[in-house]
Amino acid sequence: MKSLKAFTFIALLAFVFILSACSSDSEAGGEGDGEGENASEDTVKLTMGSWRTEDKESYQKVIDKFQEENPNIEVEFKPSKNTEYNTILNTALKSGEGPDIIHLRPYAPGIELADNGYLEPLDDLEGLDKFPESSLAASKGSDGKQYGVPLNISTTQIFYNKKIFEELNLEEPKTWEEFMQINKTLKEEGYTPISLGTKEGWLLSLAHGMIGPAHYGANEFVDNITAGETSFTSDKFVNSIKAMDELKPYLPKNYEGLGMEDIRTMFFTGDSAMFPMGSWEIEVLREMNPDLELDFFPMPSAVGKEPTITTWVDGSYAINANSEHKEAAKKFLQFMTTEEFGKMFTEEFKMISAIPGIESEDQLVNDLGKAADENSTPYLFLVHFSGGNPSTKTTIETELQGMYLGERTPEQVAEAVQKNAESWYEPLQK
């Protein structure tokens, strides 16, 4: 009996010991879970909005580099389709939502977001002093405060298929007459000379942005029109619209129904020989056709001036005024002002960084940068005339679409542009 009691007592002690151990393990596990929750709470998650769906892989490399030094800040790049981005972003911002970090459209659209109170001022951000005022102006609010970090300098020029040019013994044109002769030769040889469609209006303002200066005289006209000393109904500007009209025979068949995807495909597959487009397409074209022999030439002048490259700050990054993680977002934007970021951006995206002095190992990108430094002219309707409702930029797009449909004359296009600009641009209201 005694031995049975002793056994029972020992068993009871063992049971109590096991319960105690389990309780301790449970508490330790609870503390471990708590530590995990605290670590999770210390990690800030940022969202980054943009229209550059094609750059997702490159942006992830940039984010990975940033997170090497900032492991507690996670950044998710969430782009929207180019043609839908503005609507998606504006709807979100009006609801007090939207991404923490916002890719701003340059000039008027981005400045409008700042003026409406949707963006956080960045005047105290370290690194902004690296950028020239001309670049900062693309995202400076009407209140004089800075709201964006300039990302890149975009250029427009004529890309061409070197293999086709060599096959037909064609050389880069130095005058407008030589350019038109190249178009004629290409068409006679069975190629579509110029890969351009009119379905999407922005393609037309972009094309005019590089073709127009060859006829209205580039920077001299820009200075005069912005000062209100000439008009869009002047002979110089009307001639720039006539030049667009003269290119009709050299565009693809059914150009009225062709958009960006269509004309890009025509060029990288070799169906067309020339592509009037922005520098952001370099890497896209190479990915679509690694064997494409790609080069460019500046737009030759029709009025005896130097050939020109059209340039502008093509986007900046800003912070959502309603973001709950502004300080973390500022760290990311500060990273975007560094030479490290500038070099990485240039190499990964094959674009010209807005940070001065950054060179690329890519010869084509470097050549574009040098050409832009030597003979640049601004993208007139984006930089100076993207205001108004509808904007003057939108007006020239819709009017040019009408011209290509045979519903407008060049003179009517110019008159509509002038009327719109007078409705909001004070120097033209004299």
Q: d(Cα 303, Cα 284) in Å, to the nearest integer?
A: 34
Tell me what the mean pLDDT of segment 269-279 comes to: 97
Residues 221-236 as b/e (b if ≥16 CB within 10 A, e otherwise) read bbebbbeeebbbebeb
Give pLDDT, residue 21: 44
What pLDDT score was predicted for residue 257?
Answer: 97
Number of alpha carbons in the 13 Å side-chain half-sphere of residue 235: 1
pLDDT at residue 32 greater than cutoff 90: no
Instruction: Give the model confidence (pLDDT) of 346-356 as tens digits.
Output: 999 999 999 99
The pLDDT of residue 3 is 46
Q: pLDDT, tens digit, for every residue of 385-428?
A: 999 999 999 999 999 999 999 999 999 999 999 999 999 999 99
- Quickly list H helices, 289-409: 326-335, 339-349, 363-374, 380-383, 392-404
Does residue 26 have a pLDDT over 80?
Answer: no
Q: What percent of the chain has pLDDT over 90?
A: 86
Confidence of residue 183 (pLDDT cuts 50, 70, 90): very high
Please provide the average confidence, as pLDDT, over all residues in the chain: 91
pLDDT score of 128: 96
Residue 6 has pLDDT above 70, yes or no: no
Higher pLDDT, 341 or 82: 341
pLDDT tens column, 358-375? 989 899 999 998 998 889
pLDDT value of residue 373: 86
Q: How much is the pLDDT for 214?
A: 98
pLDDT for residue 42: 85
pLDDT for 150 beyond 70: yes
Burial of 127 (0-12, 13-18, 19+ CB in 10 A): middle
The separation between CA 154 and the C-alpha centre of its own chain, rounded to angstroms, equals 8
Stretch among 12-26, 153-167, 198-212, 305-319 having the lowest mean pLDDT: 12-26
Q: How confident is the model at residue 38 (pLDDT cuts 50, 70, 90)?
A: very low
The DSSP string of 392-429 is: HHHHHHHHHHHHHTTS--HHHHHHHHHHHHHTT-GGGG
* 292: confidence class by pLDDT, cuts 50, 70, 90: very high
Q: Is it the case that residue 41 has pLDDT exceeding 90?
A: no
Closest CA to 403 of 231, 299, 248: 248
- Pairing of β 309-313 and β 152-161: antiparallel
Three-state DSSP class for 190?
coil
Helices and strands in the chain: count of H runs, count of E runs: 19, 12
| Least confidently predicted of 22-26, 153-157, 187-191, 302-306 | 22-26
Which pLDDT score is estimated for 130? Answer: 95
Alpha-carbon distance of 343 to 365, in angstroms, equals 12
Least confident piece of the model among 23-27, 380-384, 385-389 = 23-27
* In the predicted structure, residue 223 carries a pLDDT above the cut 60: yes
Q: How confident is the model at residue 332 (pLDDT cuts 50, 70, 90)?
A: very high
Burial of 76 (0-12, 13-18, 19+ CB in 10 A): middle
**Domains along the chain?**
44-154+313-373 (3.40.190.10), 155-311+378-428 (3.40.190.10)
- Does 210 score more than 50 pLDDT? yes
